Structures are given as structure tokens and as C-alpha cells.
Structure 1
């Protein structure tokens, strides 16, 4: 999972400062992500092509290996996340990550907050998204 995260981050966000070394990212996945969060991977031919990490009401991580993009894996991960968290989900992404923003908006996520990056480790302006099932308080009909 950490290897996919590292490759995906480097490919999708080459101009965003990575706040942690590769070794720290690997340790974070093994010591924090896997023991504390619901985690899913997409595998083909014994290779991990994507990862989904869910918190209680948060889509914590959704990263695809560059070789796994365009195959519908992200779409399936979002649908799985919505099934697993039917009362709604929040997530953060960087404002410069236009492809991710379009992807989440296509899946019904609505931007609810923009920040200047002062509160994230990368110091990168971010946007908070929220998805609520249709008909719930605060949901948007699309």
C-alpha cells in the first residue's frame, strides 16, 4: 500500500512538497493505517493497483498506482466507501489536484471548505469535500 501511495503521490502531485520520507510513509502504513483504519486494496496479477482507507466518517486515502488509472478502480472504491459509510463521508484533497477534484465532484462530493494550507503538513492549500446520501439533511440533489 505504501508503495502505491508513494508512486501515486509522486505522479499526481509532483510539485507538492511531501512532508515525510519514503521510510516514514512505509512505517505510517504499517504502524498506523493498517491497525487503525478499514483498508482495502485492488489487486491484479499479484500487484496492488490501488488503495482505499476509511475512517469512521472519512475517506482517509484513495490512491491509484499510475498503471491502474483509467480502469474504473477509483469508481469502484468510491462506491464501496459509500456502501461502507452510508450516512456520509468527508475527505480532503489539495486544491491543485484538479483531476481528483473533478473525480470526487463527479461522484457527488461537494466542496464545503477551502484552506490556505497552514494546517496541513505539506503547507498546500486544500479543499474539504462532503458526500451525503440523497435525501439526508444537508445533501445536494444532483
Structure 2
């Protein structure tokens, strides 16, 4: 099976990006799928792009398999979500490798504490836990992680 192509998202794909985002988030068991959640994520995609997101998708011959949002200037991996039907196929690792090409020295991210599968994966991928903090907008406890290229001073 060919590997999906990672490329910049197009504006006409934002609704589908929101759907991938919701379906992946729902697969964590932390929230149920709903029209409200989908509408909230659909509204958020263009807002976040205006605030500086570099938005990428993993395109599997016209089907969006994943979404990746980076704040390049802040070295921040904001969102990495793989559609449930593509999970377990190393697509997350490919997206992380893509991120490391764009942010070769340092990356930080936040992950919901309740999403143990995700934060344990980041730990296996070399990210170091820094702190936990409640996100006031959502009420979720967030775990903060950082990865630094070897030889980069703290």
C-alpha cells in the first residue's frame, strides 16, 4: 500500500480536515462525536490558520488520512491527528519525521493527560515531560513535552 503524501492543506479541504480531527479525537474516548464538536472544529481551522498555523494533511489518493498543525516560529507541534482507519500504520511516525524536518532543533507540544496512548507514544519518540497544567478553555489537564536535537543546549 503506498504511503500517503504529506502536503499543505488547501482551503477547500478545511471541512474534511475538521472531520479527520474530530474522528481521531473521538477515537481517544475523551469526547463523543457530535454535530456541535464538528462545527466547533470547522470554525477553528481557519481561525488557527490566521493565528499562524502551518496546516498539513496526509493525502491518500484524495482521502485525508491525517492532519498536522505546526506553529513553526514557536517550534510548536499544535495538532497531530490520524484518522482512526489509518491508525497503527506508522503514519503518526511519518508526520513526526516531517515535523522534525521543519523543526530540526527543538519541538514542544501539549497532550491531554487522559490521552495516555498519545503521550506514551511521544515519550517513546524521545519527547521529555516538562509539566502539567490545566487548560482554562477546556478544563483538560495538559501534559507539556519537549524534544531537542542531541547537542542543542537547554
Shared fold (TM-score greater than 0.5)?
Answer: yes
In the TM superposition, residue 31 of structure 1 has moved relative to its aligned partner by 3.5
Q: Which residue of 13, 30, 53 corresponds with 2:69?
A: 53
Q: Which residue pairs with 2:13 in the alignment?
A: none
How many residue pairs are counted as aligned between the two chains?
Answer: 134
For 1:19-34, list aligned pairs within 5 A: 21-33=37-49
Deviations 1:52-84 (A, max 9, x none): 111021001000100110111100111111110
Q: Which residue pairs with 1:14 in the alignment?
A: 30
Instruction: Output the CA distance in 2 between the equivalents of 1:34 and 1:72.
Output: 30
Q: Which residue pairs with 1:43 in the alignment?
A: 59
In the TM superposition, residue 35 of structure 1 has moved relative to its aligned partner by 7.2
Instruction: Output the CA distance in 2 between the equivalents of 1:64 and 1:45.
Output: 16
Q: Which runs of 5+ in 1 are unaligned?
A: none
Structure 1 or 2: more strand by fraction = 2
Instruction: Output the CA distance in 1 between the equivalents of 2:129 and 2:147.
Output: 9
Instruction: Output the CA distance in 2 between the equivalents of 1:120 and 1:49.
Output: 30
For 1:105-124, list aligned pairs within 5 A: 105-115=123-133, 117=134, 119-124=135-140
In the TM superposition, residue 97 of structure 1 has moved relative to its aligned partner by 0.9
Q: Which runs of 5+ in 2 are unaligned?
A: 1-16
Q: Is 1:66 paired with 2:75?
A: no
